[in-house]
Structure 1
Amino acid sequence: MVGTPTVYPASDFDPEADAAALKKAFKGLGSDEDAIIEILTNRNNSQRQQIAAQFKTMYGKDLIKELKSELRGNFEDVIVALMTEPIEFQAKQLHKAISGLGTDEATIVEILSIHDNDTVVRIAQEYEGLYQRSLESDIKGDTSGTVKRLLVSLSTGHRDESETVDPEKAFADAQTLLRAGELIQGTDESAFNEVLCQRNRSQIRAIFAEYENITGHPFETAVENEFSLTSKESLLALVHSIRDRTEYLAVRLHDSMAGIGTDDRTLIRIVVGRSEIDLEDIKEAFRLKYDKTLAEFIEGDCSGDYKKSLLSVIA
């Protein structure tokens, strides 16, 4: 499925002029945040990498380090995210989710479930290069039980990606899942893991339809009944991302701004991470689901240059 981005390559791109304009924006007391936003949110990541290379050639300085010394807080985080190569950005986000106080399983499920096999493998390779430890070993060391098995399976990047649907196998898998869960005392968790982490997404949606035909209720009800706490939340998130990745990410964005405080890391990760992929589609799913635009939510939840930079990326 080809998505619609919000950020495109600048057509009259001149990395030398952009590097000079950024250098000028750093001069004097404070920096010209509007100029920084204007340049960096209107270039794609490949062009930003060229600006960084040009900046180093012209001034002998690392552009990201210069930006970090000039900027602060969430605004700095948005700009650094925009300047970071996408695979590296996702690897660093996984590390933060694993290495912080407690484990942010929701973020790990998000990153591993929305990307294709090749991207997951590249993220895992980048992770190992950055931290000298494998993503799998860090997941194993930080999680346990059902969640550990689920996340390890997702981190291998071995899902069938054929997207061919076999109705007979879908029916058989639905029956297997029913026997592994609602028809027995206790739960055979391995059956859920095998189906949800190995089958292609179209096939899994066919399994969900067969399951509902047999039982009269959605597959999510089985997850609600058979699992608890983090296992339940992680499986429900995976099911949602398989059913409709765009809506899943719209909900993730909404939830990052709902309630007390803002989950800025998730907000920035999805806005920046999907800006060149399908953020326009996510915006539309958001509007349909919540009857308010993503921009309106950001307006009400963020402030200052942080707000300006996010609004410019999603425009």
Structure 2
Amino acid sequence: MEYKAVPTVVARKPFDAVADSQELRGAMRGLGTDEQQIIDILSTRSNAQRQSISAAYAAEFERDLIDDLKDELGGKFEDVIVALMRPPVEYLCQQLHEAMAGMGTEESTLVEILCTKTNEEMREIVVAYEDKYERPLAEQMCSETSGFFRRLLTLIVTGVRDDLTTPVDAVQAKDQAAQLYAAGEAKLGTDEEVFNRIMAHASFPQLRLVFEEYKELSGQTIEQAIKHEMSDELHEAMMAIVECVQSPAAFFANRLYKAMDGAGTDDATLIRIIVCRSEIDLETIKQEFERIYNRTLHSAIESETSGDYKRALTALLRGA
């Protein structure tokens, strides 16, 4: 079944970058700030259009739009607006960098960003990361992670995954399923190297076929096998790959649910997914969220957030 990715935010037509830049300047001038106007403009333009607005703003006022927004806004609302203003790849690099900065590492952020990308997307991130931080992503990641989890992420980051242009191979899928079975269920202990190699090398369409063959061969789903064979971060990473192969929307819906479940809210994850997926498949994620959890994503976010922060996120959910 072909995955249908429906965004909530699309390019605005007609679009006038100069007029938008003037309106934003007006919203930030004088006493007080018109937050609603900032939300109305930035949540209904594509990222490419926001970059044009930023350039027009610099040309018109000789000022940096992101700096001005930061001066005028605060808290989580500022985080959403600044995230919207960054080019998507640059924003993801920043999120990866923050996940590895300071004490401890946010492994689940690394998993969410790295395990869900195609090889083409991964290449862009790797180039942009080294450009921005003057250190290869793989090198920094190696110093922050360990064991088979580190090896899996290193394989993904070094771009060994087959491109989407590589034709799927049914015969090879049978063989790969047999290798996974032999490396896990069919033996005492687990040969993680085999799992890492196949999960990091095969394209997502090829993996879809491998998982079907696996079920045919073992009578168990690949998820059941991973649950029995893996633990901790490696388990989380493997499951992320499996979920993204089968339905990226379900994976992100689950991440959003976990970010809002229990005491407190994981605002960083909430903002990152809503902003990053708004132009890809946020509409599809909304549908999956409602299907899985029997409530709308809109109502969940409304009950977890407040003020301008809530208005900005729900504006992105509605889209243009």
TM-score bracket, shorter-length normalisation: over 0.9
SS state at 2:160 partner? coil
1:249-268 alignment runs, 5 A limit? 249-268=252-271
CA contact (8 A) 1:105 1:234 kept: no
- TM-score by length of structure 1 reads 0.95
Alignment counterpart, residue 202 of structure 1, candidates 190, 200, 205: 205
Q: Shift of the alpha carbon at 1:2?
A: 5.7
Match 1:173 to one of 176, 187, 201? 176
Q: For 2:44, which of 42, 45, 50 is the aligned residue? A: 42
Q: Measure the CA separation in 1 of the matches of 2:240 and 2:195.
A: 14
Offset of residue 41 of structure 1: 0.7
* TM-fit CA distance, 1:116: 2.2
Rounded to whole Å, the distance in 2 between the matches of 1:167 and 1:20 is 56
Is 2:65 the partner of 1:56? no
> How many angstroms does 1:21 deviate by?
1.2
Aligned to 2:33: 31
Q: Which runs of 5+ in 1 are unaligned?
A: none
Indicate the residue corresponding to 1:213 in structure 2. 216
Measure the CA separation in 2 of the matches of 1:238 and 1:119.
15
> For residue 273 of structure 2, what is the amino acid of its counterpart?
I
Q: CA RMSD in A?
A: 1.5
Contact 2:111 2:236 in 1 (8 A): no
Matching residue's letter, 1:157: G
- 1:275 aligns with 278
Partner of 2:20 in structure 1?
Answer: 18
Which residue does 2:76 correspond to in 1? 74
Q: Is the 8 A contact 2:92 2:125 kept in 1?
A: yes
Q: Which letter does structure 2 place at the counterpart of 1:73? A: G
Q: 1: distance between equivalents of 2:46 and 2:224?
A: 41
| 1:183 to partner: Cα distance | 2.2
Distance 1:201 1:19 in 2: 40
2:146: which partner in 1? 144
Contact persistence 1:295–1:311 (CA under 8 A): yes
Amino acid at match of 1:285: E
TM-score under structure 2 normalisation?
Answer: 0.94
Residue 278 of structure 1 aligns with an amino acid whose one-letter code is: D
Q: Secondary structure at the match of 2:115?
A: helix
Corresponding residue number in structure 2 for 1:313: 316
**How big is the shift at 1:186?**
2.3
Other structure's SS at 1:171 match: helix
**Matched residue pairs, number?**
315
- Call closer, same or farther: CA 1:163–1:259 in 2, change over 3 Å: farther
What is the CA distance between 1:180 and its match in structure 2?
1.1
Stretches of structure 2 lacking an aligned partner (at least 5 in a row): none
Task: Return the offset for 1:51.
Answer: 1.0
User: 2:248 aligned with 1:245, yes or no?
Assistant: yes
Residues 67-98 of structure 1: CA distance to partner in whole angstroms, max 9, x if unpaired?
Answer: 01111111000000100011101111111112
1:5-53 alpha-carbon deviations (Å, 9 max, x no partner): 1111111212222111111111233311011101111111111111111
- Pick from 188, 193, 208: which aligns with 1:190? 193
The 8 Å contact of residues 116 and 240 in structure 2, kept in 1 or not, is answered as: no
DSSP 3-state at the match of 1:114: coil
1:135 aligns with 137
| Pairing of 1:83-102 with structure 2 (within 5 A) | 83-102=85-104
